[in-house]
Amino acid sequence: MLRIGLTGGMGAGKSTVSKVLAQLGAVIVDADAIAREVVEPGTPGLASLVTAFGDDLLRPDGTLDRAALAAKAFADPESTKKLNAIVHPLVGARTAELIDGAPADAIVVQDIPLLVEGKLGAFFNLVIVVWVDAEERVRRLVEFRDIPESDARARIAAQATDDQRRAAADVWLDNSGEPGSLDSVVRKLWDERLVPFERNVRERIASQYLPEIVPANHEWPAQAARLVARLRAVCGDKVTRIDHVGSTAAGTEAQDVIELQITTANQEAAKQLVEPLAAAGFPQIEAGNYGSADPGRPANVDVRVGE
């Protein structure tokens, strides 16, 4: 199974990308849809919201008035925090149920609006960010979703900045063009990266590549940081440190391969990393050396025993 995190600012067009991926065969797990499900009439989630924000959140038929909730929950950081504390655990439990039910060879795309804010990127094989300029997003929200401009701006301001999203993005999709213009880009991403990535993870195969000498790339540190975060999430307390090493760490002309080094306390701990690393997309090539299964980001991981 390959797990993809899909995110972007409100009004950026995640649903457009999600629909194309669904047509191609992805299993879509939509956090917004789940968030609506867990606060339907009669659920503990809706009862908790009423307790926290007042019974004027309810329409006459007993359903949640989302506009009324938004006006209260996004009014200030503390209210937003209160909302998230109620809804996020419920969404997480339901999400786990859906993922557990997906086929072993599935490409699972989790559409999560607050992925960056929640610092969840390390738990995915890849993070896709859909981007549109903030002013254009405001226009779309007002024009197409009938959201008051002040509300749209407040909700956008409560979310991550473009710089924060860019730091989290393995794939950056610019959706500022005409409707449908992104479809071919998403299809190419599916065919050339996601499908072979899933296959490589399932078959425990490192992606083959011919490294080229290229000029220094200012994105190398951020790319390495994302991989380090994923390795930390996988390795847990089995490692003492994970470092970005080699020529890309030096920031000079180099082969375009991110080199990482994991240090473990002993040989037994190193042996225990073989399967977790493979499942996370870093299959073993030879003893102590692992390669990335991702055809879009060449990387090598060396595991050593040290202090």
Q: What is the pLDDT of residues 47-91, one digit of tens each?
A: 999 999 999 999 999 999 988 998 898 888 899 999 989 998 998
Q: Are strands 171-174 and 284-286 parallel, antiparallel or unpaired?
A: unpaired
Residue 139 has pLDDT above 90, yes or no: no
Q: What integer is the mean pLDDT of 204-224?
A: 91
37-41, 175-179, 246-250: segment of lowest average pLDDT = 175-179
Q: Are strands 258-264 and 299-305 parallel, antiparallel or unpaired?
A: parallel
Q: What integer is the mean pLDDT of 236-246?
A: 92
Q: Which is more confident, 7 or 148? A: 7
Percentage, residues of the chain above pLDDT 70: 100
Residue 220 has pLDDT above 90, yes or no: yes
Q: What integer is the mean pLDDT of 252-278?
A: 93
Give the model's pLDDT for residue 293.
97
Residue 185 has pLDDT above 80, yes or no: yes
- The answer to whether the annotation marks 14 as part of a ligand binding site is yes
Band (pLDDT 50/70/90 cuts) for residue 32 is confident
**What would you report as the CA-atom Rg of the chain, rounded to the nearest whole angstrom?**
21
Give the model's pLDDT for residue 13.
87
- The answer to whether the annotation marks 13 as part of a ligand binding site is yes
Report the candidate in 280, 289, 300, 290 with the shortest Cα–Cα distance to residue 126. 280
Q: Which is more confident, 307 or 295? A: 295
Give the model's pLDDT for residue 182.
93
CA distances from 217 to 1, 180, 228 (A): 31, 31, 18
Amino acid code (one letter) for 237: D
Give the model's pLDDT for residue 177.
86
Give the model's pLDDT for residue 10.
85
- The answer to whether the annotation marks 12 as part of a ligand binding site is yes
Give the model's pLDDT for residue 208.
87
CB neighbours (10 Å) of residue 180?
Answer: 9
11-20, 85-94, 145-154, 190-199: segment of lowest average pLDDT = 145-154
Give the model's pLDDT for residue 3.
96
Give 219's contacts (C-beta < 8 A, 6+ positions apart): none
Q: What is the pLDDT of residues 94-135, one digit of tens each?
A: 999 999 999 999 999 999 988 999 899 999 999 999 999 888
Residue 158 has pLDDT above 80, yes or no: yes
Please give the CATH topology (third level) of the domain spanning 213-305.
Answer: Beta Polymerase; domain 2 (3.30.460)
Q: Do the beta carbons of residue 282 and residue 231 sit within 8 Å?
A: yes
Alpha helices, H only, the chain: 14-24, 31-37, 44-53, 66-73, 77-100, 134-145, 149-157, 162-168, 183-189, 195-203, 220-235, 247-250, 267-271, 274-279
Q: Across all residues in the chain, what is the average pLDDT?
A: 92
Superfamily of domain 2-197: P-loop containing nucleotide triphosphate hydrolases (3.40.50.300)
- The answer to whether the annotation marks 119 as part of a ligand binding site is no
State CA 275 to chain mean position distance. 22
Domain ranges of the chain: 2-197, 213-305
Give the model's pLDDT for residue 157.
87
- The answer to whether the annotation marks 238 as part of a ligand binding site is no
- The answer to whether the annotation marks 271 as part of a ligand binding site is no
Q: What integer is the mean pLDDT of 264-274?
A: 92
Helix 134-145 to helix 149-157 angle (10° resolution) is 140
Give the model's pLDDT for residue 307.
63
Measured between alpha carbons, how far is 70 from 178 in angstroms, rounded to an integer? 29
